[in-house]
Structure 1
Amino acid sequence: MDLEKMSKEELEQLKKDVDKALKTVDARQKAEAKRAAEQAAREYGFSLDDLVAGQTGKGNKGVAKYANPADPTQTWTGRGRKPNWVNDALAAGKSLDDLAI
């Protein structure tokens, strides 16, 4: 294929065809990767959905390290902004070790 001899319209069409082909290659590779991941999960007795359910990466709070002594349902991981109950306990003279789970 001699690009120098092609017209602008032919080159633009070629570009569209290449872009379309690249998208289908990506789609095929993603499908193959998903099949491989599903197979690997099955080998361990899980489905792929079992492994990725709820793991969006956003909102993953982690493991709680501290709990409110007055209300143990209120917990904090130690990351991010301190909840008001932690600030109140610290102001009352408690330490984070006192609040540790």
Structure 2
Amino acid sequence: MKIDIEKLSLPEIEALLVAAERRQRQLSSRRPLALVRRKAIALAAQHGYTIDELYGHQPVAEIAVKKRGLRRKTTKVAAKYRDPDNKRNTWSGRGRMPVWLAQKTKHGRSVTDFLIPGLAKPTARKSSAIGQRKLVKQG
């Protein structure tokens, strides 16, 4: 950490000196690292462990971090909707509606117009009305 002393005002320099003296007292009052390490090894041995068994090969900072549970892999889902103009534009009906479909439904077409024949019922709705059900016949 570099501090440009030339740019500091008198109160800032005095505050810096007080903070430096406080840090110096704190560091000088700590026990030597070798002594603390020996005591930790002795305490672990007293309980029948070694330091490697307690901490392994990981740094101490990594042990304290809580690990998240494993995430399930998401499986690929077959496409239900296809753009007739560009066959590569497909959508499974999950997640956010793709731009190409949103633009076409904005211009008056229905989402069901883009269903791939022979697949399940549509999952996307332009406007979702709570409590209303819509039956779509396939075939």
Report the TM-score range of the alignment, normalised by the length of the smaller protein. Answer: 0.3 to 0.5
Say which one has the larger Rg: 2
TM-score if structure 1 supplies the norm length?
A: 0.45
Which protein is richer in strand relative to its size?
1
